[in-house]
Amino acid sequence: MATPQQDLAREIHAALECEPRINLHRTPIRVAHVDGGVMLEGVVDDLAVKRLAPRLAARVNGGIQVIDGLRVATGGERGDGEIRDSFARALQGQRDLANCKLSQRANTNGIELVQEAPHDAPSGDVLISASAGCIHIEGHVISLSHKRLIEVLAWWTPGCSNVSNRLEVTPAEEDNDDELADAVRQALEMDPMLDADQVLVRASSGVVTLSGAARGTKESRIAEMDAWAVCGVGEVRNELRVVQ
C-alpha cells in the first residue's frame, strides 16, 4: 500500500506531465520530502521548466510548500571562480549599474571590491559569489528594475545553473504590470541575438505575453527564455509569429 508521501509524489509528477513544456522522460524531476513540504531536484532543460515546475507542484494538495532545488542544464562545466568573474564583468559593462558598488567573495572567503560607486549616493551595494554553479547575489539596490537587470545578467552568465537573488530594494517598491513589462523589454533589448523592435510585450498579473515577429524559431525561443529570466514573471505566453 502506498504511503501518503508516495501518493503526493505521484500527484506532483502527474501535474508536471500535463505541462507540455516539461519532459520528465528527458530530464527527470525528483520529489524529495522535507518537513512541511517537498523539494524538487534535478537538472532541467531550460529556465521555463525551472520556473514552472515548482508552481505546478504547489497547486497539488492545497498548496504545499515547495522548495526549488532544480538546476538548469548549462551545456558545459565552468569553475565557480570563472562564473563569478564573468558575471562581475557583465555587471560592470551595464551603464544602468555604473553607480552601484560591486564586490565579490574571493576564493579565500574574503571580499574584493570590483567597482566603486562614483557618486555619494550609490544606486546599490551588491555582493556576488558563485558555488556549485549557482550565482549568489546579496545586498541592496534602489529599484526593482535594478534587481531584475542584475538577475537577468546572472542567468545569462555561461555556466550558471541557478541564481539565488537576495537583493533588497531600498526603499521598498510596489511591483506592477508596467514595471514588469518594462523589465522584460529591457532584457530583450539587451540581447544581441534578438531584433527587439519587432517584439511587443504585455504583462497582466505576472503573465507576460510576447507578440509580434521573430526571425525563426530560434529567435522566438530566445525571446521566451529572456522573459523567463526576469524575476517576478509567473508565466510567459509566446505568441510571436515566426517569419523567415
Q: What does the alpha-carbon distance between residue 104 and residue 88 come to, in Å, rounded to a whole number?
A: 8
Angle at 190 between CA 195 and CA 96, to 5 degrees: 150
Which pLDDT score is estimated for 64? 80
Which pLDDT score is estimated for 56? 93
pLDDT band at 43 (very low <50, low <70, confident <90, very high): very high
**Cell numbers given for 216:** 525563426
The correct answer on CATH 3.30.70 for the domain covering 177-242 is no
Q: Per DSSP, which regions of the chain are E strands?
A: 30-34, 37-44, 65-72, 100-105, 111-115, 124-131, 134-141, 162-165, 168-169, 199-204, 207-214, 235-238, 241-242
Which pLDDT score is estimated for 121? 86
- Of the candidates 60, 58, 69, 72, which has an alpha carbon nearest to the alpha carbon of residue 27? 72
Over residues 186-197, mean pLDDT: 95
pLDDT band at 200 (very low <50, low <70, confident <90, very high): very high
pLDDT digit string, tens, across residues 72-120: 999 878 999 999 999 999 999 999 999 999 999 987 779 999 999 988 8
> The pTM is what?
0.94
pLDDT digit string, tens, across residues 138-158: 999 999 999 999 999 999 999
CATH number listed for the domain at residues 4-72: 3.30.1340
Residue 40 has pLDDT above 80, yes or no: yes
Half-sphere exposure of 14 (CA within 13 A, CB side): 9
pLDDT digit string, tens, across residues 205-226: 999 999 999 999 999 999 999 9
Q: What does the alpha-carbon distance between residue 198 and residue 59 come to, in Å, rounded to a whole number?
A: 35
Strand partners, 32: 39
Residue 62 has pLDDT above 80, yes or no: no
Residue 129 has pLDDT above 80, yes or no: yes
Over residues 126-136, mean pLDDT: 97
Residue extent(s) of CATH 3.30.1340 domains in the chain = 4-72, 177-242
